[in-house]
Amino acid sequence: MDNLIAGYRRFRETAWPERRKIFEQLAERGQRPRALVIACSDSRVDPAMIFDAGPGEMFVVRNVANLVPPYEPDGVHHGTSAAVEFAVCGLQVPDIIVLGHGMCGGIQALLQGVPAPLGDFVGPWIRIAERARKRVLECAPAEPQLACEHEAVRLSLENLMTFPWVRERVADGRLRLHGGHFDIRFGVLAMIRADGEFAPA
């Protein structure tokens, strides 16, 4: 914790004076982010750093393995779905990016099984991507981890289209969906092309 407080103090001394006007404008006018980014909670993957974005530019939701569940308005707790609804219906973002990454522990658990201590919440959550796992195992790729990371992004994009207000906005052009994958070893961002394959941005 001491390191984090020290970091805050550096922020107040150096970054805050330079960015004070930006924060004041965001406080007065509210947020109008360019995109919703659905990313993994992994501490090695920071969407703001990857996209070199400043305060107010992106509305970010992070969860284990950057998953979007299907549309299920059943009264149960749905943190990711609530964030999608707020960004799309409230903030009216024009773009959604599902951002996967290399060496994802959530995807590893999906492929190899969830370790016993993580069964209460991680296990049920990861099962959202069961279809992605099955697709990968049917193809037997040379790199199943990478293939499953890609497939989980595709599945989350499919699940986004089960939300009626996402589907409606995509259909009339108000909203665009994108899939990406960041290789943390080499710093390479790949995006899904029109043919469904990933290629370096």
Portion of the chain with pLDDT greater than 70, in percent:
100
Supply the pLDDT for residue 120: 94
pLDDT of 77 above 90? no
pLDDT of 76 above 90? no
pLDDT of 53 above 90? yes
Supply the pLDDT for residue 75: 82
Supply the pLDDT for residue 140: 85
| Type of residue at 20 | R
Supply the pLDDT for residue 144: 96
Q: pLDDT confidence of 46, banded at 50, 70, 90?
A: very high
CATH 3.40.50.10190 is the classification of domain 31-200: no
For the chain, the straight-line distance linking the first and the last C-alpha, in angstroms and rounded, comes to 36
